[in-house]
Amino acid sequence: MFYTEILEAKKNSRKLLAILLDPDKIEMGSVPALARKINESPATHIFVGGSIVNAGIIDGLIITLKQETTLPIVLFPGNPSQISKEADAILFLTLLSGRNPDYLIEHQVNAVPFLKKTNLEVISTGYILIESGTKTAVERVSKTEPLDRNNSDYVLQTAQAGEYIGNDLLYLEAGSGAKQPVPLEMIAKTAQNTRVPLIVGGGIRTKEAIDAAYQAGADLVVIGTAFENDINFFS
């Protein structure tokens, strides 16, 4: 189970790495080759999702991936249409940084009938968008403002509210293709003052930046664009 694994990893300071595949940006024919590259990489998980993915293509993508890899596949959905029973788990996201009720409760309620038809492991995740120098897709699609990248105290307060609400994971997100990743000092402050595992992603493009995020306290780092642009990124 994904959550047990991430808790175990946190306890043993074993760092996890997810490669994010956005079905909208992937040519179906290239999936087997992508999966083989992922198998050769240090990735421990594959995340699948995006802000504007068309419904219907996710099942096919995951079925093809599963023929090539045994890595767990975790849905990272932009909306309820991105739920697929073919995956192993789903990050059940609440956009804690925003004040748009659609992303605080409406989509979650609408997702339930779909989830009930699957065996997906559902993981309550507090999702916190941090300002990153450009307007990212999450910001545009969710119509919410990211949190100030210079205000770690407020980000921590938001993360702690997520814990009190009952989130089992926290996710600090700069947004896909972000100019600047989440500040290290913000990762450190959040990691040191919360108990649940911490995911960090957005704008991380080098091996050094991955290590720095781990050093600061990230338990799992997500890489999307860097791998999308260069499938040899991890070689």
Binding residues for sn-glycerol 1-phosphate, as ranges, are: 171-177, 202-203, 224-225
Site for ligand 1GP in 16-75 (CB under 6 A): 20
Give the one residue of 204, 213, 216, 220 binding ligand 1GP; rule: CB under 6 A: 204
CA distance 103 to 99: 8
Q: Is 203 in the site for ligand 1GP (CB under 6 A)?
A: yes
224 binding ligand 1GP? (CB under 6 A): yes
Contact 37, 65 (CB under 8 A): no
Task: Measure the CA–CA gap between 98 and 101, rounded to whole angstroms.
Answer: 8
If one asks whether residue 126 binds ligand 1GP (CB under 6 A), the answer comes out as no
Quote the crossing angle between the two packed helices 57-68 and 31-40, to the nearest 10°: 50
Toward ligand 1GP, which CB reaches closer, 143 or 179? 179
Asked if 146 is part of the footprint of ligand 1GP (rule: CB under 6 A), the reply reads: no
Selected range binding ligand 1GP among 27-35, 55-63, 149-157, 201-209, rule: CB under 6 A: 201-209
What are the two backbone dihedrals, phi and then psi, of residue 72, each rounded to the nearest 5 degrees?
Answer: -65, 140
> Would you state the structure tokens that stand for residue 173, as one six-digit string?
């997100």
> Which CB, 83 or 200, lies closer to ligand 1GP?
200
Mark 158-197 with x for binding to ligand 1GP (rule: CB under 6 A) and - for no binding. ---------------x-xxxx-------------------
**Nearest residue to ligand 1GP, scored by beta-carbon proximity:** 201
CA nearest to 69, candidates 38, 25, 98, 113: 38
| 123 scored as a contact of ligand 1GP (CB under 6 A) | no
> CA-CA distance, 7 to 229, in Å (whole number)?
31
Residue ranges binding ligand 1GP (CB under 6 A) = 20, 173, 175-178, 201-204, 222-226
